[in-house]
Amino acid sequence: MATLTWVVTLATALLIQMGTNLFNDAADAGSSDGPGRIGPLRVTAAGWAPAEAVRHAALVCFAGALAGGIYLVMAGGWPILVIGAASLAAGWAYSAGPRPLSHTAWGEVWVLAFFGLAAVAGSQALQGLRPGAPALLVGLALGAMGAAVLLVNNLRDREADQAAGRRTLAATVGDRSARRLYAALVMAPFPLLLGLGWLEGEVLRMWPLLLALPVNLGLACRFRLLPVGPAMNEQLARTAQAQLLVGVLLSLALLARVPTA
């Protein structure tokens, strides 16, 4: 049963991510994704599918997530219902409604909250564990990396977003502050996860994460002087890969307990 719950949790999280991205794809095609877009091609803007079809695909993803969520609520009770409903609502509100979150400075906070804190705490609860300080630290660490991915995207598109009336975090704080914030976000997992090891009395257990330290430090240094433009597409991809690397190394660290005397 625990394995099935894990699989459904993973599938539901992926479906929410896919649905959110598809809604955003369709919504941006009529605003900031104009002919001058410098980011990677998107389905709607590239003409591969009409906006209505992309929205329908997003709804199918959310419907699948809802179906999986029903099972997860039966397994985890009302806290999972609250987290799941809030996640679906936030996924829709990110690109839809009268004031989409993606048009404001709250996008990175949204990623940190839902793809970091809520995802980790909810997954832990579904495995029969009580979320606490460890879930908070892990959620912040992984959420910070996700927020860094979005920040690269928003700094790259800052001028186009401002022209379309969007005030993202990068547009609000400016170029220099956005780059400094990016550095803080990609380096945040290390003190947070070392803090997790200290909290559990097993700091040495976190040694695999040191393998990601030069990668993230290199990303922070590179982004500091990287010109706004197509080169940021590679930075975005590298940041997403670094997020995956941190997640894999964290999994290894949590599975490898350091023997105690």
Last residue of a domain, one of 103, 135, 162: 103
175/107 Cα distance (integer angstroms): 17
Q: Are 65 and 19 in contact (CB under 8 A)?
A: yes
Do residues 229 and 117 both lie within one domain? yes
Q: According to the model, what pLDDT value does residue 197 have?
A: 86
221/209 Cα distance (integer angstroms): 19
Do residues 81 and 119 both lie within one domain? no
Do residues 141 and 155 both lie within one domain? yes
CA atoms within 13 A on the CB side of 71: 15
**Torsion region of 41: left, alpha or beta (phi above 0 gives left; psi -120 to 50 gives alpha):** beta
Do residues 85 and 154 both lie within one domain? no
Of 115, 109, 236, 222, nearest to 172 by C-alpha is 109
Q: According to the model, what pLDDT value does residue 216 have?
A: 97
Domain count, the chain: 2
Q: According to the model, what pLDDT value does residue 39 have?
A: 60
Structural domain of 253: 106-261
Do residues 9 and 98 both lie within one domain? yes
One digit per residue, the tens of pLDDT, for the chain of length 261 reads: 578 888 888 898 889 888 888 877 777 665 555 555 566 666 777 677 888 888 899 889 989 988 988 888 888 888 888 887 887 787 777 777 677 887 888 989 989 998 899 888 888 878 777 778 888 999 999 999 999 999 999 999 888 888 878 889 999 999 999 999 999 999 999 999 999 888 877 788 888 999 999 999 999 999 999 998 888 999 999 999 999 999 999 989 888 764 444
Do residues 92 and 126 both lie within one domain? no
Taking residue 46's Cβ as centre, other Cβ atoms within 10 Å add up to 13
